[in-house]
Amino acid sequence: MKILVTGASGQLGSEIKELSVNYTDDTFIFVDRGEMALDDLTQVLSVIENANPDLIISGGAYTAVDKAESEVELVDIINHQAVATMAEWAKQNNRKLIHISTDYVFQGTSSTPLKETEPTNPINIYGLTKQKGEDAIISSDADAIIIRTAWVYSSYGANFVKTMIRLMTDREEISVIGDQIGSPTYAHDLAQVILKIVHSDRWVKGIYHFSNEGEISWYDFAVAIRELKNLDCNIKPITSAEYPTAAKRPSYSLLDKTKIKQTFGVAVPEWKQSLSNMLEKI
């Protein structure tokens, strides 16, 4: 199988690349903005046509959530129009697509884990463009799987876990938001799930949710990082209102993973075990 992976140097792309060595029967083509700039739709189509993959894993995206509020056109090209281009090519050429989306497509006002059928209603530009990307895939009728995920971190790239370790090492006290609820996703776990689905005998197109098991706040996440790293830093929980950002964040975005578990027999690791695994790796 020939697999084209976008966002090759991102957290997820790097984890897929690390795992790809286990799939010797496959040919992986990893592209990043140097080889396939997602804001150049002509290049996107040209690279896909030249690669002619059996499957596209669409992991690349514009993810600077606050900056997105002031770069609306650019974000739309990358998160919506480039995805539409991939979906249309997949449909026309009878190929498969796995696209990574986000909990940010939701309003964030629920109090129960979000199922795939929950109405979307993004509260920021990033979420809106990701929703439009999803809509483009669905309207194309491509043979596609959309996986929504949340709070992604990895041993690769910049992320919340690494930032917390740096801040807690440098400072005696930090403040972390305690009123946004969800569950983190270790990108290594997500990469394993994607490759399991790719090589499964079962392929059921549609939308799925994946994050690690558990329900925590960013504050809880920071406390666990401190414990596992044996750091000596006071962590103060604050409200979202006390830490204003350019883009609003969902206050509740815990994803219900029942569908992906039942459809593909996926085992979802508990968040703290995955955090421990990542910290051991770095």
Query: What is the reported pLDDT for 105?
Result: 97
Does some domain include residue 209? yes
At residue 228, the pLDDT reads 97
Q: Cα separations (Å) of 59 from 205, 243, 267? A: 17, 29, 21
Q: pLDDT band at residue 24, thresholds of 50, 70 and 90?
A: very high
Does some domain include residue 84? yes
Residue 172 domain-assigned?
no
- Average pLDDT for residues 200-216, to the nearest whole number? 97
Q: What is residue 152's predicted lDDT score, i.e. its pLDDT?
A: 98
Indicate whether 201 belongs to any domain.
yes
C-alpha dihedral (191, 253, 146, 141), degrees to nearest 10: 180
- Which helix (H) or strand (E) segment holds residue 219: the answer is helix 218-229
pLDDT in tens, 108-121: 999 999 999 999 99
Q: Is residue 180 within 8 Å of residue 217, measured between CB atoms?
A: yes
- At residue 3, the pLDDT reads 98
On whether residue 138 sits in a domain, the answer given is yes
- What pLDDT shows up at residue 238? 98
Residues 205/264, Cβ–Cβ less than 8 Å: no
Q: pTM for the whole thing?
A: 0.97
Structure confidence at residue 196 (pLDDT): 97
Decide if 232 is inside a domain. Answer: no
Instruction: Please write the tens of the pLDDT for every residue from 120-169.
Output: 999 999 999 999 999 999 999 999 999 999 999 999 999 999 999 999 99
For residue 89, the domain's CATH number is 3.40.50.720
Among 62, 126, 156, 219, the active-site one is 126
Measure the CA–CA gap between 21 and 5, rounded to whole angstroms: 14
Tell me what pLDDT residue 180 has.
97
Q: For residue 9, give its domain range.
A: 2-158+184-213+253-269
pLDDT tens-digit map of 69-86: 999 999 999 999 999 999
Q: Is residue 166 part of a domain?
A: no
- Count how many domains the chain has: 1
Percent of the chain predicted with pLDDT > 70: 100
Specify whether 186 is catalytic: no
User: How far is the C-alpha of 230 from the C-alpha of 221, rounded, in Å?
Assistant: 14
Q: What is the mean pLDDT of residues 95-100?
A: 98
Residue 5 confidence (pLDDT): 98
**Nearest in space to 131 (alpha carbons), one of 95, 160, 107, 98:** 107
Question: Hey, what are 266's tokens?
Answer: 């996926």
Helix (H/G/I), strand (E/B), else coil: 119: coil
From the list 196, 65, 87, the residue with the least C-alpha distance to 138 is: 87
Q: Measure CA 134 to chain center.
A: 13
In a domain, 37, yes or no: yes
